[in-house]
Chains A and B, each alone.
Chain A
Amino acid sequence: KNQVEQSPQSLIILEGKNCTLQCNYTVSPFSNLRWYKQDTGRGPVSLTIMTFSENTKSNGRYTATLDADTKQSSLHITASQLSDSASYICVVSASGTYKYIFGTGTRLKVLA
């Protein structure tokens, strides 16, 4: 069964600190993996997309890694800001389908 699991479920950090969010998936055949940021009550916004051959991708203070062998990805946030408070969702798509499989997200809260 195609699944995407994220950890931790929630996280609280102080402004300026770094954090790492995890994503494990069992989607096959793998096509690509995306990380989205979703502010409360808003639609998700894409941060990064990685295909099988890519193992790291950066977008400003956000850096995503992918290990296709172990089927794991991480999203590292550097020097966190209050505006980083949001849910971060890992989404994996399978080749040849229209389906995107969403994780349940990690809820990040950055405190001043």
Chain B
Amino acid sequence: ETGVTQSPTHLIKTRGQQVTLRCSSQSGHNTVSWYQQALGQGPQFIFQYYREEENGRGNFPPRFSGLQFPNYSSELNVNALELDDSALYLCASLTRPGTGGNEQYFGPGTRLTVT
């Protein structure tokens, strides 16, 4: 176990709805990255938060937004859900931003199904 937790485990939403996914990072980690992993694909980087600020963003539209709290836990919000948003959403915590020798510790993921 990595010490990174995510909730909920599974979620079913209807197209057009909004969803909030949550992540608690490993103790001592101040950076969180979020990924979307479609079935049979590798994870795609959504964005990273460092000390409550967005530190970088992948190729995702503005309806994907996030927050990081003073305790370094994080939320991923998706508005106006589309069928293609169905995926496993992973968060990963790091001790600091940047990729150097910096290890990412992944949570178990939230499986989102949009119908």
Contacts and interface: CB of A to CB of B under 8 A. Distances in A.
Contacts of A98: 33, 48, 55-56, 97-99
Interface in B79-115: 88, 90, 92, 97-101, 103-104, 106-109, 111
Nearest to B40: A104
A95 to B, nearest CB: 8
A106 B15 CA distance: 31
What does DSSP make chain B's interface, helix, strand, loop or mixed? Answer: loop
Classify chain A's interface size: 20 to 34
Contact of A43 (B56, B99, B106): B106
A102 B44 contact: yes
Contacts of B106: 43-45
B18 interface: no
Interface of B: 2, 4, 33, 35, 40-45, 48, 55-56, 58, 88, 90, 92, 97-101, 103-104, 106-109, 111
